[in-house]
Structure 1
Amino acid sequence: MDIGLKGRQAVVCASSQGLGRACALELARAGCSVVVNGRDQATLERTADEIRTETGAEVIAVAGDVTTRAVQDALMRAVPRVDILVNNNGGPPLRDFRDIDREALLAGVVGNMATPIELVQRVIDGMVERRFGRIVNITSATVKMPIARLDLSSGARAGLTGFLAGVARSVAHANVTINFLLPGAFETNRRRTNERTTAERRGVPIETVQQESQAAIPAGRYGDASEFGAACAFLCSAQAGYITGQSLLIDGGAYTGIL
């Protein structure tokens, strides 16, 4: 299926691995020039080479922490225009809310709410002027189903969702969409890190935590990053212009609510 993205230019934050990488790969497959980003230079360059080899697309690597002004500037300079922005960033570690001091609280809000908003501010007017723009914000299933010890992540991402909800409606007339992807349990490094933390806290093997987690998912498994990347690419497609302000939960049926 041609999703109408050939020649488009995309910036995908925190895309050297995991779900961000999957989004960058699918956009490259669809014909986009893609700017990838990550903190570790070696991992980022390896990812960029792999995506180039697999897709033949132009892939530009911008290393660094996306919460900093310098890296945001570099991302914006990497391509002549930004048609597609995928906001992504690692979340705060598992932690009891009592242990979150003011510094950690502010860092979580900056990383998972303020930074995506700043990037939207930078690209939105150009998108409106060109009458095409796709913004996808990777948040979390915990926005709809909060989990203890991930309170800071849930709160910051829910704040981002609320902030951009009105923005999405204000630019829909210009064929600019803003949507949210809410991943549940996917096979990623972050999940494995959280599982190790949980296993150590409970004093059980990590395999026990993994088995219990997967048993609680109606699909009976963790998600594959490629499934997530495909959903991201569709929300960025020409055919998705009538979808905006929506939170798409991708969790194998784990969330049992109807709204």
Structure 2
Amino acid sequence: MDLGITGRTAIVCASTSGLGRATAEALAAEGARVIVCGRRADVAEEVAAGLPRAVGVGVDLLAADGADLLMRVTRSAFGPADILVLNGPGPRPARVTEIDEPELGTAVESLVTAQHRLVSLALPHMREQRWGRVLAVGSGAVVAPIQDLALSGIGRTALAAYLKMLATEVAGDGVTVNMLLPGRIATDRVRRIDAARAAESGATVEEVTAASATRIPLNRYGEPDEFGAVAAFLCSERASYITGSAVRCDGGQSPVL
């Protein structure tokens, strides 16, 4: 299937590893021109060098001028962004009773406020040309709370509400807004979470991973490229009638429809 995004310019936030990198690779494979970004410029440039048409940018999107810098580099390299993939590292694993007020504020800043800055800068071009894609990498905690990922769940659920309202406002301008919810995908972050659970329980990491897999109907963790393929579709011309949706890529793990 031709996804219809050849020549489109895509910004993929936090795309030097994990789900962001898988999404950047999938978009590049479909002909998009990709901005790879991360806090370490050398890593971003290395990842970009392995893609057909890509530029790597070192930027801290939590810094006051981070979003502006990213947009300036994008325009200079490829022109305004047609596709914006919102992504970033999640807060530390914790239960609600274990979090304090400062880190709750930090979670909202990193998972909602920083995303709003990027969206505000990217939307004018998308609305003017009457085509655009905004996709956020979320979490299964948005639809079914995960007890020891309270900070991530709170921040990403707030982001989901923001995106749902945004989708309604810009749909008439040809801009779609969606969230993609990963389950247990075999990334470094998931491995770190499994390691933390192993340390807390006294089990080995392998035992924690095996136990987690049994709770997934497909009986395995997903692969990053499987997630990337779904992300690329949601950013494509072919997905033009999907907006305001939270799409799960979780092997059937979520207990809700």
* TM-score category of the 2 structures, normalised to the smaller one: over 0.9
Kindly report which structure 2 residues correspond to 1:95-114, keeping only aligned pairs within 5 A, or say none.
Answer: 95-114=94-113
For the Cα contact (< 8 Å) 1:15–1:24, is it kept in 2? yes
For the Cα contact (< 8 Å) 1:12–1:34, is it kept in 2? yes
Question: In 1, Cα distance between the equivalents of 2:196 and 2:45?
Answer: 29
Measured after TM superposition, the shift of residue 2 of structure 1 is: 1.3
Question: In 2, Cα distance between the equivalents of 1:242 and 1:69?
Answer: 35
Question: In 1, Cα distance between the equivalents of 2:179 and 2:83?
Answer: 13
Alignment-derived partner of residue 38 in structure 1: 38
Q: Deviations over 1:191-249 (max 9, x none)?
A: 01011111011111111100000111000100011111111111111111111000001
Partner AA of 1:22 in structure 2: A
Question: In 2, Cα distance between the equivalents of 1:8 and 1:41?
Answer: 23
Question: In 2, Cα distance between the equivalents of 1:99 and 1:180?
Answer: 27
For the Cα contact (< 8 Å) 2:45–2:55, is it kept in 1? no
For the Cα contact (< 8 Å) 1:187–1:225, is it kept in 2? yes
Query: Which deviates more, 90-99 or 159-168?
Result: 90-99
Q: Does 1:229 align with 2:224?
A: no
Alignment-derived partner of residue 5 in structure 2: 5
Alignment-derived partner of residue 60 in structure 2: 65
- Give structure 1 stretches of 5+ with no counterpart: none
TM-score of the pair, normalised by structure 1: 0.94
For the Cα contact (< 8 Å) 2:39–2:58, is it kept in 1? yes
Alignment-derived partner of residue 24 in structure 1: 24
Q: Deviations over 1:34-74 (max 9, x none)?
A: 111112333322211222xxxx22x1111132222322112
For the Cα contact (< 8 Å) 1:136–1:236, is it kept in 2? yes
- Where 1:168 maps in the other structure, the secondary structure is helix
The alignment's C-alpha RMSD in Å is 1.1
Q: Does 1:83 align with 2:82?
A: yes
Alignment-derived partner of residue 203 in structure 1: 202
Question: In 2, Cα distance between the equivalents of 1:88 and 1:218?
Answer: 26
Question: In 1, Cα distance between the equivalents of 2:133 and 2:62?
Answer: 21
Identical residues among aligned pairs (%): 39
Alignment-derived partner of residue 69 in structure 2: 74
Partner AA of 1:226 in structure 2: D
Q: Deviations over 1:72-122 (max 9, x none)?
A: 112101222010000001111112323322221111111111111221111
Alignment-derived partner of residue 216 in structure 1: 215
Measured after TM superposition, the shift of residue 155 of structure 1 is: 0.9
Question: In 1, Cα distance between the equivalents of 2:32 and 2:63?
Answer: 25
Question: In 1, Cα distance between the equivalents of 2:185 and 2:193?
Answer: 12
For the Cα contact (< 8 Å) 1:12–1:85, is it kept in 2? yes
Partner AA of 2:58 in structure 1: A
- Where 1:78 maps in the other structure, the secondary structure is helix
For the Cα contact (< 8 Å) 2:46–2:56, is it kept in 1? no
Number of corresponding residues: 253
For the Cα contact (< 8 Å) 2:217–2:252, is it kept in 1? yes
Q: Deviations over 1:165-207 (max 9, x none)?
A: 1211111112100000000000000001011111011111111
